[in-house]
Amino acid sequence: MKEVRIMHEQPSKHNDTGTATGKGYVYIAGAGPGDPELLTMKAHRVLLEADVILYDDLVSPDLVDQYPAAEKIYTGKRKDSHHFEQDEINQEIVRHALKGKIVVRLKGGDPFIFGRGGEEIDTLRRQGIGYEIIPGITAAHGASAYTEIPLTMRKVSSSVSFCTGHPVSKIQVPDTDTIVYYMVASSVHDVLDMVAAKGRSGDTKVAVVQNATRYNQKTFTGTLDEFRKRERAVYSPALLIIGDNISQFIETSWYSRKKKVLMTGGDSKRYPGTDYIVVNFPCRRVAGADLDAVKATIEGIDDFSMLFFQNKSSVKYFFKYLFENGRDVRHLSHMTICTSGRAAAAELLTYGIIPDCCLEAEGSAGLGLTGLLSKEGLAQQHILLPCSGNVDESVAAELRDAGNRVTPLGVYVHEAQRQEDAVDLEFIDEIYFSSPGCVRNFRTLYGSIPDRIRVTPADDRTAEELQRQFGR
């Protein structure tokens, strides 16, 4: 007889990794300079395998969020979180590794370029813990590619060096055609003074590239003399590039020509890669239901004749609770199952269910949900409507208007955005709103939308909410 095992708890994925010592394994990996697509395939693979991810300030939370299975530990310097000294980070890596975990230490750029990767492997060697190093695209390479400033160029620059601008006592001026300085947030002037003192001509070209490869990348250019006369400014994170290769820079680099679209949820595939940069404003939906209500509803599931899913999250969290309450798809076989929108239909398929109907609000010539339902002959139903806990009554109302009895069931909540995740709207050309909930979240965080920014609602209900909240 086949043995059936029920797993209540997620086991460590790697109890059987076979490390001879029984210790875990550590990957010291580079995440690249910002654009999440600049992650290597190898780093992506180990992040999928990770039990624990320890990540820095320069690594975007958006990137680590894509690996939901791992425990994440932020080791940067955000105000509301614990400040880790390097020793403490080393200890933390070791602690998890000794528990047999697969640990990914994820750093901005490359771990061996001003990344303190060397110190971390030193500790691992001493502890006899196995490790690998996965290189990343360093900020200098990201900035160079995304601003069209080649670091070497025939007849212009035949050597390049990477230096630090911090601390000021450590600033060096090597004799290379191009010099890239890291960590210059507050020391651009100190560096430039030393470069001039070393005898580089006042006409030497200079560029500061801030937030390289990110949606808010900004480049400032001038000559050595011009920069030295400018007011001191703080640029962070930023690189200072010095050398005549900068004459290749053009204001309209391939990257700056792209339109930046802020996506509040939804499917980024609707914005094709060559024209747009998609900036995520994760309108997070997280599990968060009244568990007693969910249990009672699932126990009484036979009373319903129809299940209606309005989005992907309602599918995802409904099934989470269905399984947790010991039921599966067979308990839904008596019901008509409908979705509004293809994303929810696609999610349903992953549970082995082809919806009886998929009501596509977009492009339905303004029929509205009520019209679509009656077109499909769906009335007199007792509908279970898994939805957000901060209930959006408009769908329930439309289903009722079509002559149905409706029971909304909160299976997730919209989580408020944190202030530090806020996107700088100065760089944004368009905002795509995927649901009324996202419009409200956006309103809470930003208050208003600058007139020059185009807004695109996903459907009629989102358009109405936009009108209500922003008059747009």
Residues designated as active site:
56, 77
Rounded CA separation 359/377 (Å):
12
- Cα gap 271→268, rounded to integer Å: 6
In the complex with ligand SAH, the residue whose CB is nearer, 176 or 211, is 211
Q: Reduced to 3 states, what is the DSSP secondary structure of residue 212? A: coil
Q: Show the tokens assigned to 98.
A: 């000794």
- Tokens representing residue 312 in the block: 């992907």
* Residue number with CB closer to ligand SAH (240 or 373): 240
Place of tokens 């199952």: 337
Report the interface residues with ligand SAH, using CB under 6 A: 33-34, 58, 107-110, 113-115, 138-139, 143, 182-185, 209, 211-214, 237-239
Closest contact distance (angstroms) between CB of 240 and ligand SAH is 8
User: Phi then psi for 299, rounded to 5 degrees?
Assistant: -65, -30
Q: Which is nearer to ligand SAH, 227 or 304 (CB)?
A: 227
| Closest distance of CB 351 from ligand SAH, Å | 40
Alpha-carbon gap, residue 429 to 271, rounded angstroms: 13
Q: Which is nearer to ligand SAH, 302 or 420 (CB)?
A: 420
**Residue 413: CB partners within 8 Å, gap ≥ 6?**
285, 286, 288, 388, 389, 390
Cα end-to-end span (Å), the chain: 63
CB of 315 to ligand SAH, least distance (A): 36
Cα–Cα dist 22/20, whole Å:
6
Tell the smallest beta-carbon distance from residue 171 to ligand SAH (Å).
13
Give the CA-trace dihedral at 81, 83, 88, 92, to 10 degrees: 20
Minimum distance from CB of 223 to ligand SAH (Å)? 21
Query: Burial of 5 by CB count in 10 Å (0-12 exposed, 13-18 middle, 19+ buried)?
Result: exposed
> By C-beta, is 127 or 216 nearer to ligand SAH?
216
Give Cα separations from 389 to 293, 313, 329 (angstroms). 11, 12, 23
43 or 458, CB closer to ligand SAH? 43
- Tallying the residues shown for the chain, one arrives at 472
Please, are residues 243 and 205 in contact by the beta-carbon 8 Å criterion? yes
Nearest residue to ligand SAH, scored by beta-carbon proximity: 109
Q: Taking each helix axis as running N to C, give the angle between helix 312-324 and helix 291-299, from 0 to 180 degrees, rounded to the nearest 10.
A: 80
- Name the E strands within 248-399: 259-264, 276-280, 285-287, 306-309, 336-340, 357-359, 382-388
User: Minimum distance between the CB of residue 31 and ligand SAH, rounded to whole angstroms?
Assistant: 9
Residue 398 to residues 215, 351, 404, 461, Cα–Cα distance (Å): 39, 27, 9, 11
Q: Which secondary-structure segment (H or E) carries 210?
A: strand 205-210
Rounded to a whole number of angstroms, the minimum distance from the CB of residue 187 to ligand SAH is 10
User: What is the closest distance, in whole angstroms, from the C-beta atom of residue 107 to ligand SAH in the complex?
Assistant: 6
Burial of 371 (0-12, 13-18, 19+ CB in 10 A): middle
Closer CB to ligand SAH, residue 112 or residue 351? 112
| Nearer residue to ligand SAH within complex by CB, 161 or 211 | 211
